[in-house]
Chains A and B, each alone.
Chain A
Amino acid sequence: EIVLTQSPGTLSLSPGERATLSCRASQSVSSSYLAWYQQKPGQAPRLLIYGASSRATGIPDRFSGSGSGTDFTLTISRLEPEDFAVYYCQQYGSSPRGTFGQGTKVEIK
């Protein structure tokens, strides 16, 4: 089973700054089957990125995903106030059982 490790656990930044979130897999993720989700307090997760780098419908272009193999990155080019949230990665290539990372919280500095 592939284990996903996200870093850092918490990222303290100011609006307008660039956020770089990492997701590292214990084994290679086949076909770059990696997704990113955003979750705000009291809300359901929202799909941001799938296939490592494809933005979901309606997601602003300040969100971008990159990476392959075992190392993936979610970048938020300029943080807006509504971007402060918890972000999860998920791999979906290795088995029917979905695997999530433990999450990275992006908080206001």
Chain B
Amino acid sequence: EVQLVESGGGLVQPGGSLRLSCAASGFTVSSNYMSWVRQAPGKGLEWVSVIYSGGSTYYADSVKGRFTISRHNSKNTLYLQMNSLRAEDTAVYYCARGMIAAAGSYYFDYWGQGTLVTVSS
């Protein structure tokens, strides 16, 4: 059974850092596209980042240069390192597995339950 379990969210001050983790089971993270998607309170879904099975990474313009997506193959875990956090980064962060339709094209077939990040002083 495929499962994704996020952790690492919490309250952080503006300018601070946080690292989110997403522990996967039932499949191999490194063989799949893996993404982070966030949802601000009462708002819609916003794609944040993806790491391809080959290791290429991409980011939304709103987080580029501040967030880093990575994975630990032996732990079968996905990460999101978030630096220079801003109030507008406040959201529930979901990790999601990307089902590959074609090279570079993917939709999300499994989602974690999400972890809340609150950026506030």
B1 adjacent to chain A (CB < 8 Å): no
A100 touches B107 (CB 8 A): no
Least Cβ–Cβ distance between B56 and chain A, in angstroms: 8
A98 touches B44 (CB 8 A): no
Number of A residues with CB within 8 Å of any CB on chain B: 27
Q: Judge whether A37 and B108 touch: CB under 8 Å.
A: yes
Chain A 34-52, CB-CB to B under 8 Å as 1, else 0, gives: 0101010001111100110
Interface SS, B side: strand
Chain B residue with Cβ nearest A36: B107
In this complex, how many residues of chain B approach chain A with their Cβ under 8 Å: the count is 26
A92 within 8 A of B: yes
Per the bound structure, the CA–CA distance linking A30 and B60 in Å amounts to: 21
CB distance from A35 to the nearest CB of B (A): 4
A92 in contact with B45 (CB, 8 Å): no
**Inter-subunit contact B46/A100 (CB<8 Å):** yes
Closest Cβ of chain B to A45, distance in Å, is 6
Does A44 lie within 8 Å of B111, measured CB to CB?
Answer: yes
> Closest B-chain residue to A101, C-beta based?
B44
Complex contact A97–B108 (CB within 8 A): no
A51 contacts across to B, CB distance below 8 A: 101
Most buried by B among A30, A39, A44, A93: A44
Given contacts A37-B108, A44-B113, A47-B107, contact A98 B101 (CB under 8 A): no
Can you list 22 residue pairs at the A/B interface with Cβ under 8 Å? A31-B101, A31-B102, A31-B105, A33-B101, A33-B105, A37-B108, A39-B45, A44-B114, A45-B108, A47-B108, A47-B109, A50-B101, A88-B44, A90-B107, A92-B106, A92-B107, A96-B52, A97-B47, A97-B50, A97-B58, A97-B60, A100-B45
Which residues of B are at the interface with A, using a C-beta cutoff of 8 A?
A: 35, 37, 44-47, 50, 52, 56, 58, 60, 94, 99, 101-102, 104-114
